[in-house]
Amino acid sequence: MIYAMILAGGGGTRLWPESRRKRPKQFVRLSSEGTMLTQTFLRLGPLVAPNRTLIVTREEFLPLVYESLPSFPKANILAEPVPRSTAPAIGYAALEVTARHKEGILIVVPSDQIIEPTKRFQETLRRAAALVKDDPKRVVTLGIRPDRPADGYGYMKLGEAIESKEDAPPAGGSIDAFHLVRFCEKPDPATAQRYLDEGGYLWNSGIFIARASRFLELLAEHQPEISSGLDRLRPLIQQTNKRDEIAAVYEAFPSISIDYGVMEKADGVVTLAADFSWSDVGSFESLDEDIAPDDQGNRARGIRLAALDCHNNHIRWKVDQGGDPETLLAMIDVDGLQVIRQGNVLLITRMGNDRKITTLLDQLTEMGLEDYR
């Protein structure tokens, strides 16, 4: 039996000010197809039925989940009393799955990715589930073939190929599988270029597939503090009157990602080289790749732009929920700027400064400007 969990508790700070503390990016409607959470849920069907899909989110985001998916079964929404990153969240969901089906396979997907086409994504997940059925100790990751030396993604170094046991390859052709040599942290630009030149590296999509019980075994092996907390949580998870006890256990968890806390240490990890289009929407550049640049490489959404001797600038202008097509933005002699207007915030920075946004948000708190986060 295949289950899925959607990770929907992140803060989305790199996409500020579009993504705010009270409405992070997974709950923002970035296209006509609904919020990113809505799109993630729809992408999983018909592979995983709604009653076998779990959403893990923060308690404070529950109204936003209901807003994005008003018909979703509320019993399948697991609310974290406090954020503790992805390792405890996946353990929390794995407990729920094993309580329903001891041999259930769990697909873990983030809620802030753009993936096309959906059919190929589902075919890849079916191939991953088949690999897990072949070997219950396996953990399968989905890797993305890099098309540029991106330094904002983690990488995975591939080992030997795994011979396919598919009776009939999917319509789009076989999906290559490899033993994983190691996970690589987000590199500096020079290292990212080396990975691209050498080949044999894939971007880490953050999508994992394994038996739910296997996730719990790996947490016991590599994160005993989380595992012991999950043991205390197990008898409480389906009791609605145990909220305070669940909160006390959850608050004691260390805040650690599944990648760093478990996957980098685990044996038997397999990577599928996915061939669908993928973006984790970690920057405005990735969000607006569909905008055709002018002859100087400038891209603008939501506003008129007049640029003189300006190159490779990116402008995204939103007032409330719409653009501002009557206003003209004029720029002279500037290159590589990112100009983002969202509601009551205007952000101007150099391209590639996404990682500094978290530091800026901390500064806003120190300045008493918490409402702008």
Least confident of 9-13, 98-102, 143-147, 161-165: 161-165
Find out whether 91 and 215 touch, Cβ atoms under 8 Å.
yes
Average pLDDT over the chain, rounded to an integer: 91
Query: Are 243 and 297 found together in one domain?
Result: no
List residues bridging with 345 in a β-sheet: 342
DSSP H/E element including 42: helix 36-44
Q: Report pLDDT for 284.
A: 76
Give the residue from 82, 81, 72, 98 showing the smallest Cα distance to 6: 72
Residue 364 lies in a domain: no
Q: Report pLDDT for 246.
A: 87
Give the model's confidence band at 110: pLDDT under 50 very low, under 70 low, under 90 confident, else very high. very high
Query: Are 220 and 343 found together in one domain?
Result: no
Q: Report pLDDT for 168.
A: 58
Share of the chain above pLDDT 70, in %: 94
Instruction: State how far the Cα of 41 lies from the Cα of 346, in Å rounded to an integer.
Output: 32
Instruction: State how far the Cα of 195 lies from the Cα of 193, in Å rounded to an integer.
Output: 5
Task: Read off the pLDDT of each residue in 96-101 and give the average, rounded to a whole number.
Answer: 94
Query: Are 133 and 148 found together in one domain?
Result: yes
Chain segment 303-352, per-residue pLDDT in tens: 999 999 999 999 999 876 677 788 899 999 999 999 999 889 999 999 87
Q: Report pLDDT for 167.
A: 58
Query: Are 37 and 178 found together in one domain?
Result: yes
227-259 burial code (b ≥16 CB/10 A, e <16): bebbeebeeeeeeeeeeeebeebbeebeebbbb
Chain segment 209-255, per-residue pLDDT in tens: 999 999 999 999 999 999 999 999 998 876 766 788 889 999 999 99
Residue 262, pLDDT > 90, answer yes
Which residues constitute the domain of residue 204? Answer: 2-283
Tokens of 103: 């041999």
Query: Are 174 and 115 found together in one domain?
Result: yes
Collapsed DSSP state (helix, strand, coil) of residue 89: helix
Instruction: State how far the Cα of 322 lies from the Cα of 334, in Å rounded to an integer.
Output: 26
Residue 270, pLDDT > 90, answer yes
| Number of compact structural domains in the chain | 2
Instruction: State how far the Cα of 301 lies from the Cα of 318, in Å rounded to an integer.
Output: 8
Query: Are 204 and 324 found together in one domain?
Result: no
Instruction: State how far the Cα of 330 lies from the Cα of 342, in Å rounded to an integer.
Output: 18
Q: Give me the CATH number covering residue 194.
A: 3.90.550.10
Query: Are 323 and 259 found together in one domain?
Result: no
Chain segment 277-302, per-residue pLDDT in tens: 998 876 777 777 778 899 999 999 99
Rounded to 10°, the helix 243-251/224-233 angle is 180
Chain segment 164-206, per-residue pLDDT in tens: 666 556 666 778 999 999 999 889 889 999 999 999 999 999 9
pTM of the model: 0.89
Residue 32, pLDDT > 80, answer no
Task: Read off the pLDDT of each residue in 53-72 and give the average, rounded to a whole number.
Answer: 96
Least confident of 114-123, 171-180, 357-366: 171-180
Query: Are 141 and 204 found together in one domain?
Result: yes
